[in-house]
Structure 1
Protein backbone atom coordinates (compact mmCIF):
# COMPACT_ATOMS: atom_id res chain seq x y z
CA UNK A 1 0.00 0.00 0.00
CA UNK A 2 1.36 3.40 -1.02
CA UNK A 3 1.77 6.05 1.62
CA UNK A 4 0.09 9.37 0.87
CA UNK A 5 2.48 12.06 -0.30
CA UNK A 6 2.44 14.93 2.15
CA UNK A 7 2.75 18.50 1.00
CA UNK A 8 5.66 20.48 2.38
CA UNK A 9 4.83 22.96 5.12
CA UNK A 10 4.70 26.45 3.61
CA UNK A 11 5.45 29.53 5.62
CA UNK A 12 4.88 33.06 4.34
CA UNK A 13 6.41 36.14 5.89
CA UNK A 14 7.35 39.68 5.03
CA UNK A 15 10.76 39.82 3.35
CA UNK A 16 13.39 40.49 6.01
CA UNK A 17 16.71 42.24 5.42
CA UNK A 18 18.57 38.92 5.51
CA UNK A 19 16.20 37.51 2.84
CA UNK A 20 16.68 40.25 0.26
CA UNK A 21 19.18 38.16 -1.69
CA UNK A 22 16.81 35.16 -1.86
CA UNK A 23 13.95 37.45 -2.83
CA UNK A 24 16.05 39.09 -5.56
CA UNK A 25 17.00 35.69 -7.01
CA UNK A 26 13.31 34.71 -7.13
CA UNK A 27 12.46 38.06 -8.72
CA UNK A 28 15.14 37.55 -11.38
CA UNK A 29 13.75 34.06 -12.10
CA UNK A 30 10.27 35.56 -12.55
CA UNK A 31 11.62 38.17 -14.99
CA UNK A 32 13.45 35.52 -17.03
CA UNK A 33 10.33 33.33 -17.12
CA UNK A 34 8.37 36.39 -18.32
CA UNK A 35 10.75 36.76 -21.27
CA UNK A 36 13.58 39.01 -20.07
CA UNK A 37 17.11 37.85 -20.66
CA UNK A 38 19.10 36.78 -17.58
CA UNK A 39 21.49 39.68 -18.24
CA UNK A 40 18.68 42.27 -18.26
CA UNK A 41 17.18 40.82 -15.06
CA UNK A 42 20.58 40.76 -13.35
CA UNK A 43 21.30 44.34 -14.42
CA UNK A 44 17.96 45.55 -13.02
CA UNK A 45 18.70 43.79 -9.73
CA UNK A 46 22.26 45.15 -9.53
CA UNK A 47 21.00 48.70 -10.14
CA UNK A 48 19.21 48.45 -6.80
CA UNK A 49 15.66 48.49 -8.18
CA UNK A 50 14.53 45.59 -5.98
CA UNK A 51 16.23 46.87 -2.83
CA UNK A 52 14.74 50.34 -3.35
CA UNK A 53 11.22 48.92 -3.79
CA UNK A 54 11.51 46.87 -0.60
CA UNK A 55 12.24 49.97 1.47
CA UNK A 56 9.22 51.95 0.27
CA UNK A 57 6.49 52.50 2.86
CA UNK A 58 3.68 51.79 0.38
CA UNK A 59 5.19 48.48 -0.82
CA UNK A 60 4.96 45.15 0.97
CA UNK A 61 6.85 42.07 -0.21
CA UNK A 62 6.24 38.54 1.05
CA UNK A 63 8.32 35.44 0.54
CA UNK A 64 7.05 31.85 0.70
CA UNK A 65 9.35 29.18 2.07
CA UNK A 66 8.85 25.41 1.83
CA UNK A 67 11.27 22.95 3.44
CA UNK A 68 13.65 25.82 4.16
CA UNK A 69 13.79 26.90 0.50
CA UNK A 70 12.27 30.09 -0.97
CA UNK A 71 9.60 29.03 -3.48
CA UNK A 72 7.61 32.16 -4.25
CA UNK A 73 6.88 35.77 -3.54
CA UNK A 74 4.20 38.42 -3.72
CA UNK A 75 4.68 42.17 -4.03
CA UNK A 76 1.78 44.45 -3.16
CA UNK A 77 1.46 48.22 -3.04
CA UNK A 78 -1.11 50.56 -1.52
CA UNK A 79 -2.41 53.46 -3.57
CA UNK A 80 -5.74 55.03 -4.52
CA UNK A 81 -7.68 52.90 -7.00
CA UNK A 82 -7.41 55.75 -9.47
CA UNK A 83 -6.06 59.29 -9.50
CA UNK A 84 -9.58 60.65 -9.02
CA UNK A 85 -10.59 58.61 -5.96
CA UNK A 86 -9.43 58.71 -2.37
CA UNK A 87 -10.31 55.10 -1.48
CA UNK A 88 -7.10 53.13 -0.93
CA UNK A 89 -6.58 49.88 -2.77
CA UNK A 90 -3.91 47.21 -2.45
CA UNK A 91 -2.58 46.17 -5.84
CA UNK A 92 -0.72 42.91 -6.28
CA UNK A 93 2.06 43.97 -8.57
CA UNK A 94 3.68 40.54 -8.81
CA UNK A 95 2.91 37.02 -7.67
CA UNK A 96 5.38 34.30 -8.54
CA UNK A 97 5.89 30.65 -7.58
CA UNK A 98 8.79 28.56 -8.87
CA UNK A 99 7.56 25.95 -11.40
CA UNK A 100 8.30 22.89 -9.24
CA UNK A 101 6.29 24.32 -6.30
CA UNK A 102 3.15 25.22 -8.25
CA UNK A 103 -0.20 23.55 -7.52
CA UNK A 104 0.81 23.06 -3.87
CA UNK A 105 -1.02 26.03 -2.34
CA UNK A 106 1.93 28.45 -2.31
CA UNK A 107 0.13 31.19 -4.26
CA UNK A 108 -2.95 30.91 -2.02
CA UNK A 109 -0.77 31.27 1.08
CA UNK A 110 0.82 34.38 -0.42
CA UNK A 111 -2.63 35.76 -1.25
CA UNK A 112 -3.67 35.19 2.35
CA UNK A 113 -0.77 37.37 3.52
CA UNK A 114 -1.74 40.08 1.02
CA UNK A 115 -5.36 40.04 2.24
CA UNK A 116 -4.20 40.53 5.83
CA UNK A 117 -2.01 43.41 4.66
CA UNK A 118 -5.01 44.99 2.88
CA UNK A 119 -7.05 44.70 6.09
CA UNK A 120 -4.28 46.35 8.09
CA UNK A 121 -4.22 49.27 5.63
CA UNK A 122 -8.00 49.73 5.74
CA UNK A 123 -8.45 48.77 2.11
CA UNK A 124 -11.75 47.36 0.89
CA UNK A 125 -10.41 46.32 -2.50
CA UNK A 126 -7.49 44.30 -3.82
CA UNK A 127 -6.46 44.58 -7.46
CA UNK A 128 -3.86 42.71 -9.44
CA UNK A 129 -1.76 43.15 -12.55
CA UNK A 130 -1.98 40.00 -14.68
CA UNK A 131 -0.44 39.63 -18.14
CA UNK A 132 -3.29 39.16 -20.63
CA UNK A 133 -1.54 36.19 -22.26
CA UNK A 134 -0.96 34.31 -18.97
CA UNK A 135 -4.02 32.05 -18.95
CA UNK A 136 -3.04 30.15 -15.79
CA UNK A 137 -2.61 33.35 -13.77
CA UNK A 138 -5.88 34.77 -15.11
CA UNK A 139 -7.72 31.55 -14.17
CA UNK A 140 -6.13 31.56 -10.71
CA UNK A 141 -7.27 35.10 -9.94
CA UNK A 142 -10.73 34.50 -11.46
CA UNK A 143 -11.19 31.46 -9.16
CA UNK A 144 -10.40 33.72 -6.19
CA UNK A 145 -13.14 36.16 -7.22
CA UNK A 146 -11.10 38.74 -9.12
CA UNK A 147 -13.06 40.13 -12.04
CA UNK A 148 -11.77 42.09 -15.00
CA UNK A 149 -12.47 45.76 -14.40
CA UNK A 150 -10.11 47.55 -16.76
CA UNK A 151 -7.85 46.60 -19.63
CA UNK A 152 -4.44 48.15 -19.26
CA UNK A 153 -2.82 48.76 -22.62
CA UNK A 154 0.83 49.73 -22.95
CA UNK A 155 2.94 51.17 -25.76
CA UNK A 156 6.30 52.86 -26.03
CA UNK A 157 6.55 56.64 -26.16
CA UNK A 158 8.22 56.50 -29.58
CA UNK A 159 5.49 54.24 -31.00
CA UNK A 160 2.79 56.57 -29.70
CA UNK A 161 4.52 59.61 -31.20
CA UNK A 162 4.85 57.84 -34.54
CA UNK A 163 1.14 56.99 -34.50
CA UNK A 164 0.18 60.50 -33.44
CA UNK A 165 2.44 61.89 -36.16
CA UNK A 166 0.80 59.61 -38.73
CA UNK A 167 -2.64 60.74 -37.54
CA UNK A 168 -1.55 64.40 -37.77
CA UNK A 169 -0.20 63.80 -41.27
CA UNK A 170 -3.46 62.14 -42.27
CA UNK A 171 -5.47 65.07 -40.88
CA UNK A 172 -3.20 67.56 -42.65
CA UNK A 173 -3.53 65.62 -45.90
CA UNK A 174 -7.35 65.63 -45.57
CA UNK A 175 -7.33 69.36 -44.79
CA UNK A 176 -5.06 70.09 -47.76
CA UNK A 177 -7.35 68.06 -50.04
CA UNK A 178 -10.40 69.95 -48.75
CA UNK A 179 -8.74 73.34 -49.30
CA UNK A 180 -7.66 72.27 -52.79
CA UNK A 181 -11.26 71.28 -53.64
CA UNK A 182 -12.58 74.61 -52.33
CA UNK A 183 -10.00 76.56 -54.37
CA UNK A 184 -10.95 74.56 -57.46
CA UNK A 185 -14.64 75.24 -56.94
CA UNK A 186 -13.97 78.96 -56.43
CA UNK A 187 -11.81 79.09 -59.56
CA UNK A 188 -14.53 77.36 -61.59
CA UNK A 189 -17.21 79.64 -60.17
CA UNK A 190 -15.08 82.73 -61.03
CA UNK A 191 -14.42 81.40 -64.54
CA UNK A 192 -18.14 80.79 -65.05
CA UNK A 193 -19.00 84.25 -63.78
CA UNK A 194 -16.41 85.80 -66.15
CA UNK A 195 -17.84 83.91 -69.13
CA UNK A 196 -21.37 85.02 -68.32
CA UNK A 197 -20.23 88.60 -67.83
CA UNK A 198 -18.16 88.54 -71.04
Structure 2
Protein backbone atom coordinates (compact mmCIF):
# COMPACT_ATOMS: atom_id res chain seq x y z
CA UNK A 1 0.00 0.00 0.00
CA UNK A 2 1.23 3.48 -0.83
CA UNK A 3 -0.08 6.94 -1.77
CA UNK A 4 -1.25 7.03 -5.38
CA UNK A 5 0.74 8.84 -8.03
CA UNK A 6 -0.44 10.49 -11.27
CA UNK A 7 0.83 7.46 -13.22
CA UNK A 8 -1.57 5.24 -11.23
CA UNK A 9 -4.70 7.06 -12.35
CA UNK A 10 -5.50 4.91 -15.46
CA UNK A 11 -5.35 1.75 -13.34
CA UNK A 12 -7.45 3.41 -10.62
CA UNK A 13 -10.08 4.36 -13.21
CA UNK A 14 -10.37 0.67 -14.12
CA UNK A 15 -10.76 -0.22 -10.44
CA UNK A 16 -13.52 2.36 -10.01
CA UNK A 17 -15.37 1.00 -13.04
CA UNK A 18 -15.00 -2.55 -11.68
CA UNK A 19 -16.41 -1.42 -8.33
CA UNK A 20 -19.32 0.27 -10.08
CA UNK A 21 -20.21 -2.83 -12.12
CA UNK A 22 -19.96 -5.07 -9.04
CA UNK A 23 -22.26 -2.92 -6.87
CA UNK A 24 -26.03 -3.17 -7.17
CA UNK A 25 -26.07 0.60 -6.59
CA UNK A 26 -23.15 1.44 -8.85
CA UNK A 27 -24.80 4.55 -10.21
CA UNK A 28 -24.44 6.08 -6.74
CA UNK A 29 -20.83 5.00 -6.46
CA UNK A 30 -19.22 6.78 -9.40
CA UNK A 31 -19.63 7.74 -13.04
CA UNK A 32 -19.34 5.18 -15.82
CA UNK A 33 -17.45 7.69 -17.95
CA UNK A 34 -13.73 6.83 -17.89
CA UNK A 35 -12.61 10.30 -18.95
CA UNK A 36 -14.71 11.92 -16.28
CA UNK A 37 -13.38 9.53 -13.65
CA UNK A 38 -9.83 10.33 -14.71
CA UNK A 39 -10.48 14.04 -14.23
CA UNK A 40 -12.14 13.49 -10.86
CA UNK A 41 -9.35 11.29 -9.53
CA UNK A 42 -6.75 13.78 -10.75
CA UNK A 43 -8.63 16.61 -9.03
CA UNK A 44 -8.81 14.62 -5.77
CA UNK A 45 -5.11 13.82 -5.95
CA UNK A 46 -4.27 17.51 -6.47
CA UNK A 47 -6.74 18.96 -3.96
CA UNK A 48 -5.83 20.14 -0.47
CA UNK A 49 -6.64 17.33 1.93
CA UNK A 50 -7.41 14.88 -0.86
CA UNK A 51 -6.20 11.33 -0.12
CA UNK A 52 -5.84 8.54 -2.67
CA UNK A 53 -4.17 5.31 -1.58
CA UNK A 54 -3.45 2.34 -3.81
CA UNK A 55 -3.01 -1.32 -2.81
CA UNK A 56 -0.56 -3.37 -4.85
CA UNK A 57 -0.31 -7.09 -5.51
CA UNK A 58 2.86 -8.15 -7.30
CA UNK A 59 3.40 -4.51 -8.20
CA UNK A 60 -0.04 -4.16 -9.83
CA UNK A 61 -2.78 -1.84 -8.46
CA UNK A 62 -5.63 -4.02 -7.19
CA UNK A 63 -7.26 -1.79 -4.57
CA UNK A 64 -7.90 1.83 -3.73
CA UNK A 65 -9.03 4.12 -0.94
CA UNK A 66 -10.38 7.61 -1.57
CA UNK A 67 -10.68 10.11 1.25
CA UNK A 68 -10.59 13.74 2.24
CA UNK A 69 -9.19 15.47 5.31
CA UNK A 70 -11.83 17.96 6.45
CA UNK A 71 -11.43 20.82 8.92
CA UNK A 72 -10.94 22.83 10.88
CA UNK A 73 -13.81 25.04 9.78
CA UNK A 74 -16.03 27.92 10.88
CA UNK A 75 -18.12 25.70 13.16
CA UNK A 76 -15.53 23.28 14.53
CA UNK A 77 -11.86 23.10 15.36
CA UNK A 78 -11.81 19.35 14.80
CA UNK A 79 -10.22 17.62 11.83
CA UNK A 80 -11.69 14.40 10.44
CA UNK A 81 -10.88 11.98 7.64
CA UNK A 82 -13.90 11.23 5.45
CA UNK A 83 -13.61 7.99 3.50
CA UNK A 84 -15.42 8.22 0.18
CA UNK A 85 -14.61 4.75 -1.19
CA UNK A 86 -12.57 1.64 -0.47
CA UNK A 87 -12.37 -1.25 -2.92
CA UNK A 88 -10.26 -4.34 -3.53
CA UNK A 89 -10.55 -6.38 -6.71
CA UNK A 90 -12.13 -9.85 -6.17
CA UNK A 91 -8.98 -11.75 -7.16
CA UNK A 92 -6.93 -9.89 -4.52
CA UNK A 93 -9.28 -10.30 -1.58
CA UNK A 94 -8.63 -12.19 1.64
CA UNK A 95 -5.01 -11.13 1.52
CA UNK A 96 -5.25 -8.29 4.05
CA UNK A 97 -5.24 -5.52 1.46
CA UNK A 98 -8.41 -3.91 2.83
CA UNK A 99 -6.83 -3.77 6.28
CA UNK A 100 -3.61 -2.41 4.75
CA UNK A 101 -5.59 0.39 3.09
CA UNK A 102 -7.30 1.22 6.38
CA UNK A 103 -3.93 1.23 8.14
CA UNK A 104 -2.77 3.71 5.52
CA UNK A 105 -5.90 5.81 6.17
CA UNK A 106 -5.08 5.76 9.89
CA UNK A 107 -1.58 7.06 9.17
CA UNK A 108 -3.06 9.83 7.02
CA UNK A 109 -5.53 10.75 9.77
CA UNK A 110 -2.86 10.91 12.46
CA UNK A 111 -0.49 12.90 10.26
CA UNK A 112 -3.29 15.38 9.44
CA UNK A 113 -4.35 15.78 13.07
CA UNK A 114 -7.71 14.08 12.50
CA UNK A 115 -9.41 12.75 15.61
CA UNK A 116 -12.15 10.80 13.82
CA UNK A 117 -12.58 8.76 10.65
CA UNK A 118 -15.94 8.76 8.90
CA UNK A 119 -17.16 6.25 6.33
CA UNK A 120 -20.42 6.16 4.38
CA UNK A 121 -20.82 2.75 2.71
CA UNK A 122 -23.66 2.48 0.23
CA UNK A 123 -26.96 1.08 1.50
CA UNK A 124 -27.08 -2.62 0.73
CA UNK A 125 -23.29 -3.04 0.75
CA UNK A 126 -23.46 -5.62 3.53
CA UNK A 127 -19.90 -6.85 3.12
CA UNK A 128 -18.53 -3.35 3.49
CA UNK A 129 -20.86 -2.67 6.41
CA UNK A 130 -19.54 -5.77 8.22
CA UNK A 131 -15.97 -4.75 7.40
CA UNK A 132 -16.40 -1.36 9.05
CA UNK A 133 -18.24 -2.82 12.04
CA UNK A 134 -15.37 -5.25 12.69
CA UNK A 135 -13.00 -2.27 12.71
CA UNK A 136 -15.08 -0.48 15.35
CA UNK A 137 -17.07 1.96 13.19
CA UNK A 138 -20.34 2.92 14.87
CA UNK A 139 -23.43 4.75 13.57
CA UNK A 140 -23.10 8.53 13.65
CA UNK A 141 -25.64 11.32 13.26
CA UNK A 142 -28.10 10.54 10.48
CA UNK A 143 -27.61 12.29 7.16
CA UNK A 144 -30.43 13.38 4.88
CA UNK A 145 -30.25 13.63 1.13
CA UNK A 146 -32.43 15.15 -1.59
CA UNK A 147 -31.98 15.49 -5.34
CA UNK A 148 -31.46 19.01 -6.64
CA UNK A 149 -34.58 18.74 -8.83
CA UNK A 150 -36.74 17.69 -5.87
CA UNK A 151 -35.24 20.45 -3.71
CA UNK A 152 -36.02 23.01 -6.40
CA UNK A 153 -39.66 21.85 -6.60
CA UNK A 154 -40.05 21.95 -2.83
CA UNK A 155 -38.52 25.42 -2.56
CA UNK A 156 -40.87 26.75 -5.24
CA UNK A 157 -43.86 25.17 -3.48
CA UNK A 158 -42.78 26.44 -0.05
CA UNK A 159 -42.20 29.96 -1.41
CA UNK A 160 -45.61 30.00 -3.09
CA UNK A 161 -47.23 28.68 0.09
CA UNK A 162 -45.51 31.32 2.20
CA UNK A 163 -46.66 34.06 -0.15
CA UNK A 164 -50.21 32.68 -0.09
CA UNK A 165 -50.17 32.59 3.70
CA UNK A 166 -48.86 36.15 3.81
CA UNK A 167 -51.60 37.17 1.37
CA UNK A 168 -54.23 35.45 3.50
CA UNK A 169 -52.80 37.16 6.56
CA UNK A 170 -53.06 40.55 4.85
CA UNK A 171 -56.66 39.74 3.87
CA UNK A 172 -57.57 38.93 7.46
CA UNK A 173 -55.82 42.08 8.66
CA UNK A 174 -57.75 44.15 6.12
CA UNK A 175 -61.03 42.53 7.21
CA UNK A 176 -60.28 43.26 10.87
CA UNK A 177 -59.36 46.84 10.00
CA UNK A 178 -62.61 47.31 8.05
CA UNK A 179 -64.63 45.88 10.94
CA UNK A 180 -62.89 48.24 13.33
CA UNK A 181 -63.70 51.16 11.02
CA UNK A 182 -67.35 50.11 10.86
CA UNK A 183 -67.54 49.80 14.65
CA UNK A 184 -65.84 53.18 15.08
CA UNK A 185 -68.24 54.76 12.58
CA UNK A 186 -71.18 53.16 14.41
CA UNK A 187 -69.93 54.55 17.71
CA UNK A 188 -69.49 57.99 16.17
CA UNK A 189 -72.97 57.84 14.68
CA UNK A 190 -74.39 56.79 18.06
CA UNK A 191 -72.65 59.67 19.78
CA UNK A 192 -73.96 62.06 17.13
CA UNK A 193 -77.53 60.75 17.53
CA UNK A 194 -77.27 61.07 21.32
CA UNK A 195 -76.01 64.63 20.96
CA UNK A 196 -78.82 65.46 18.53
CA UNK A 197 -81.39 63.95 20.88
CA UNK A 198 -80.03 65.93 23.80
CA UNK A 199 -80.07 69.10 21.73
CA UNK A 200 -83.65 68.39 20.68
CA UNK A 201 -84.68 67.84 24.28
CA UNK A 202 -83.06 71.10 25.31
CA UNK A 203 -84.76 72.89 22.42
CA UNK A 204 -88.17 71.43 23.32
CA UNK A 205 -87.61 72.34 26.98
CA UNK A 206 -86.78 75.92 26.00
CA UNK A 207 -89.88 76.17 23.79
CA UNK A 208 -92.07 74.77 26.53
CA UNK A 209 -90.64 77.26 29.01
CA UNK A 210 -91.29 80.14 26.61
CA UNK A 211 -94.87 78.99 26.05
CA UNK A 212 -95.48 78.69 29.77
CA UNK A 213 -94.12 82.19 30.32
CA UNK A 214 -96.33 83.58 27.58
CA UNK A 215 -99.41 81.90 29.04
CA UNK A 216 -98.58 83.11 32.49
CA UNK A 217 -98.01 86.65 31.20
CA UNK A 218 -101.44 86.61 29.47
CA UNK A 219 -103.16 85.41 32.58
CA UNK A 220 -101.48 88.10 34.62
CA UNK A 221 -102.59 90.69 32.05
CA UNK A 222 -106.19 89.46 32.03
CA UNK A 223 -106.34 89.51 35.82
CA UNK A 224 -105.09 93.10 35.95
CA UNK A 225 -107.74 94.22 33.46
CA UNK A 226 -110.56 92.62 35.42
CA UNK A 227 -109.52 94.19 38.67
CA UNK A 228 -109.36 97.66 37.20
Identify the TM-score tier after normalising by the shorter chain: 0.7 to 0.9
Point out the structure with the larger strand share: 1
The answer (yes or no) to whether the contact 1:31–1:41 under 8 Å persists in 2 is no
Give the whole-Å Cα distance in 2 for the aligned partners of 1:174 and 1:186.
18
Residues 5-154 of structure 1 mapped to structure 2, 5 A cutoff: 12-32=1-21, 33=23, 34-36=25-27, 40-46=32-38, 48-80=39-71, 83-154=74-145
Cα distance, 1:108–1:191 mapped onto 2, change above 3 Å: same
Give the whole-Å Cα distance in 2 for the aligned partners of 1:120 and 1:58.
11
Give deviations 1:127-147, integer Å, cap 9, x for gaps: 223334433323322221122
The answer (yes or no) to whether the contact 1:76–1:92 under 8 Å persists in 2 is yes
- TM-fit CA distance, 1:94: 1.5
Structure 1: tracts of 5 or more residues without a match? 1-11
Give the whole-Å Cα distance in 2 for the aligned partners of 1:170 and 1:75.
42
Structure 2: tracts of 5 or more residues without a match? 191-228
Give the whole-Å Cα distance in 2 for the aligned partners of 1:77 and 1:185.
58
Structure 1 residue 177 corresponds to structure 2 residue 168 = yes
Higher relative CO (CA 8 A, sep ≥ 6), structure 1 or 2?
A: 1
Give the whole-Å Cα distance in 1 for the aligned partners of 2:73 and 2:81.
12
- TM-fit CA distance, 1:185: 5.1
* 1:166 corresponds to: 157
The answer (yes or no) to whether the contact 2:13–2:34 under 8 Å persists in 1 is no
- TM-fit CA distance, 1:88: 2.3
Aligned length: 186
The answer (yes or no) to whether the contact 2:71–2:80 under 8 Å persists in 1 is yes
Give the whole-Å Cα distance in 2 for the aligned partners of 1:39 and 1:170.
37
**What secondary structure does 2:168 align onto?**
helix
The answer (yes or no) to whether the contact 2:4–2:53 under 8 Å persists in 1 is yes
**What secondary structure does 2:157 align onto?**
helix
Point out the structure with the larger helix share: 2
Structure number with larger C-alpha Rg: 2
